[in-house]
Amino acid sequence: MNFEKLIDYFKLDKQEFYFQFSSHPNYPSALAFSDTLNFLGLRNDAYELDKEYWDELPEEYIAVVDNSFSLVKKRGDQFTVYSDKIKNVTKEELYKNSSDFILLFEKTEAAKSNSSFNFKPVIYSIFGLIILYSLLQFSWYESIFNILSLAGVYISLELFNQKFGQESVIVNNICGAGAKNTTQSACSKIFSSDKTNVLGLKLSDFSLVYFLGITFMGLIFPDAQFVLRITALASAFVILYSLYIQLFVEKSFCRVCFLIIFILLSQIAISSVYFSWGVSLAIIFISAIVFASLFFTTAFFNNLLNQKEELKKSNAKNLRFKRNYDLFKRELLDKERVEFTDNNTFFVGNKEAKLHLSVVSNPYCGFCKGAHKIVENLLQQYPDDISVQMRFNYSPDQQNEKFTQLMSDFMYVYKNKTEQEFVDLVEYWFETRDESKVRQKAGIESSHENLSPVVGMSVENKNAGINFTPIILINGYQFPDKYDREDIHYFIGELMEDEEIYKDVTSVI
């Protein structure tokens, strides 16, 4: 499935989306797709809706069009569909080519956007500087030769990256976009038929080594025309091999291959007419070192990325097992439910929510910051569906004056200000770990609140056997030790719908 247009429209992290989607226990189902969007912050609800009711849908929704999850934008009687391609269709065409499945969504502030660094502007800038340098420094035919080498480097890099799951817009446009396009299939067929394997490198990888080498030699060593000429002539064997594969073995044509062949033929023509035969042993030696270094460097990165890809696939398969809700639920319910009598102190969120989280922590515990961040993010993402109680372990007999004052400040803000201000203050404490700054943010000089409820919570925590922090409880059930606390994000949707988890919930909250 191709989700490129959807991912680009919602500005999601592409690699994160595909990883989370492929590692879902129900991959590649609609449930996996919906849960992945939820995990990335795009809240959505799935429905099976007859077409007669589709006129009541909002202006934007997700549907299965031509067996592909697609964003649909309604503009009067016309609809724009974001799928493998962006296309405009009529209402009749949309209804005819769609199933009854739809997703209604809303963007949230917690949406995880594409935060990975984009190297392409940097690469384009470098290429631009190289072209400018060639035009100013070299003759016209040398400049054209170098620009052709850069074009070869760019195409080869795109092919190299595509091996590891990174879609190339340039290659797809050259080959022909669309999953049903026969030209694109021909390109893929040609690349997959390449049986070359030298230290893991295929013929398309050798093109990267070749173009990087002649680009380096053409820019750094102007006297290397002899080497460039011989190297360009040697590429004729590669051209013949490629044509043989396309014409006689696969009997199909690859546009990318023909583009590379055109670049090679152009360089052969330029070097044959304009480049000199002046031989320099030093240049030959340096050229051999450059090409050998590039070859082994490319082989190293190729093997490294292959190992990373294999680990990624293996991790995705393992996560499908780990993210199985039935297994998680079995571990969650394996321990006896903890019941607290104090369910009001430091209680935030929707008091009517069926799903209640308790985080048992100590403000001076370094690991507690992460646990609080998790529940605060969940509270922000699902404000109407969950509630949270922060249960700090505090004993006045064993704590110093600063700890007592901090708890008093927390209690003052909780009682006299909004829930959000209290949550923000707790988060601010874990960020700064500075009592004076917390008091300043709270806007109080000093507070002397009754801390007996906090002491009572600590006693209840201890009586329940919760001596270590942080601990997260879900409706009284302790979060399983076999899972990372961050894994709760994978199960939160199913937890909110599981009636068994809600059983006797009134005794817990």
CA distances from 403 to 389, 410, 429 (A): 19, 11, 12
pTM of the shown model? 0.60
d(CA 149, CA 134): 12
The pLDDT confidence band at residue 315, using thresholds 50, 70 and 90, is confident
Tell me which H or E stretch contains 254: none
d(CA 500, CA 108): 29
The pLDDT confidence band at residue 501, using thresholds 50, 70 and 90, is confident
Cis peptide leading into 363, omega within 30 of 0? no
Q: What are the sequence ranges of the domains in the chain? A: 4-107, 120-309, 326-507
Long-range contacts of 113-118 (CB under 8 A, 24+ apart): 113/11, 113/12, 113/13, 114/7, 114/11, 114/12, 114/13, 114/14, 115/13, 116/13, 116/15
pLDDT of 313 above 80 = no
pLDDT of 507 above 50 = no
At the topology level, CATH places domain 326-507 in Glutaredoxin (3.40.30)
Q: What is the pLDDT of residues 181-228, one digit of tens each?
A: 444 456 666 666 666 777 778 878 888 999 999 999 999 887 889 999
- One of 3.90.550.10, 3.90.70.10, 1.10.20.140, 3.40.50.720 is the CATH number of 4-107, namely 3.90.70.10
Architecture of domain 120-309: Up-down Bundle (1.20)
Q: What is the pLDDT of residues 322-372, one digit of tens each?
A: 788 899 999 999 888 888 888 889 999 998 888 999 999 999 888 899 999
Q: How many helices and strands in the chain, by DSSP H and E?
A: 20, 11
Among 131, 130, 259, 86, CA closest to 187: 259
d(CA 228, CA 234): 10
Positive or negative: CA dihedral 410, 416, 419, 420: negative
Q: Is 232 left (phi over 0), alpha (psi -120 to 50) or beta?
A: alpha
Q: What is the pLDDT of residues 88-121, one digit of tens each?
A: 888 888 888 888 888 888 765 444 444 455 667 8
pLDDT of 160 above 80 = yes
pLDDT of 479 above 80 = yes
4-107 and 120-309 share one fold: no
Phi, psi of 486 (to 5 degrees): -65, -20
